[in-house]
Amino acid sequence: MLPYAVALAVLLAVVVASAQDFYFRRGRAPTPRFAAADSFDGSFNFCRLMYDSVRFYTSGQGWWTDYPNADRNFSIRLSELTKTRVSRQPNGDPNHLVVRITDPALYQCPFIVMEDAGTVSFSDVEVRRLRDYLLKGGFLWVDDFWGTDAWNDWIAELSRVLPPDQYPVRDLTTEHPLFRTMFEIGEVPQIPSIQYWRRSGGGTSEYGDDSAEPHIRGVSDAEGRLMVLITHNTDIADAWEREAEDPRFFYKFSPVGYAVGINVVLYAMTH
């Protein structure tokens, strides 16, 4: 297990050497890279869940929030800071993927990420398919949604997938092994979008008093296996997406953002 200082030193050295490899999201939703027949080669694929949004929150853009740079950058750092073999395109780019709940490729992704979850509305078919995926061993990480309204909207949808009387949402304390899978994490970091951080002069709570406290919560199956991880009132993925855009933002948020992300992936893939 490594402290943040070690992670920071390693990440800084890598960023200085390879910052030119990174690009940033601009304009409209990018074209998704859907899974193909040859996408899965036995290595790790960062899989992002595509869904339909029925409402809008100012902190997100629907399924493609932080896409594709968060997915790409995280995959690169995971391959550099751990022994995880990451799937790659012929040009060496990480083979990160977008999957729909109804796509058979979902079952090839033991780990999936979903952002801006307060905007989602699942169909009945999607509810059944996502429940089946999770109960068969899948893992869903929900990140980057803010405030009470978005929380309530997400929980309403999640409750259709996993009834709360059987699968309650519980806070994870720092005693949970996820906090020390590889890096020692002392608390849930509140990471804002880089736009909010700049606009507010260094603030981290995007919805003011309504998002003042970041949370990390989970839902487990009957055997205690964590199936759903929820990081609320924080944008862990922006620490990956924007790592080379502003050194000040990097120093403050990227090391801990990567520490959380790597811990989550390693925990999910080994439990």
Which region among 27-41, 89-103, 195-209, 229-243 has the lowest average model confidence (pLDDT)?
27-41
What residue type is assigned to position 24 of the chain?
F
**pTM of structure:** 0.91
What integer pLDDT is reported at residue 111 of this predicted model?
Answer: 97
Average pLDDT, the chain: 91
pLDDT in tens, 147-200: 999 999 999 999 999 999 999 999 999 999 999 999 999 999 999 999 999 999
pLDDT exceeds cutoff 60 at 5: no
**Where is pLDDT greater, at 212 or 8?**
212
What integer pLDDT is reported at residue 143 of this predicted model?
Answer: 98
Checking DSSP bridges between strand 215-220 and strand 226-232, what pairing results, if any? Answer: antiparallel
pLDDT in tens, 226-256: 999 999 999 999 999 999 999 999 999 999 9
**Residue 127 CA: distances (Å) to CA of 16, 66, 138, 221:** 44, 24, 14, 16
> Which domains are seen in the chain, by residue range?
34-270 (3.40.50.12140)
**Residue 35 CA: distances (Å) to CA of 41, 51, 76, 139, 150:** 12, 15, 19, 18, 29
